[in-house]
Amino acid sequence: MRSVRENKNNVHLENRLTTDLGKHVGLDAVDVRRAELDEHARDRFPRLRGSQAAAAAARCRQLFDVEALLGALAAEIGGLAEDSSAESFPRAFLTWASEHMTDQHVLLDEETFSRIEVEQPLALAILETLFLGRPRAAAGELYRDKELQGLFR
| Cβ contact 23:32 at 8 Å | yes
pTM beyond 0.75: the answer is no
Q: Which of 137, 124, 126 is nearest to 101 (CA)?
A: 126
> Where along the chain do its domains lie?
10-63, 66-151
- For the residues of 72-125, what is the DSSP string, one character each? HHHHHHTT--TT--TTSHHHHHHHHHHHHBS-GGGGB-TTTSSSB---HHHHHH
User: Binning pLDDT at 50, 70 and 90, where does residue 64 land?
Assistant: confident
Q: Over 90: is that where the pLDDT of 74 sits?
A: yes
Give the list of residues 6+ apart from residue 14 with CB closer than 8 angstroms, or none: 35
Average pLDDT, the chain: 92
Q: Which residues are 147's β-sheet partners?
A: 142
Give the tens place of pLDDT for each residue, 99-150.
999 999 999 999 999 999 999 999 999 999 999 899 999 999 999 999 999 9
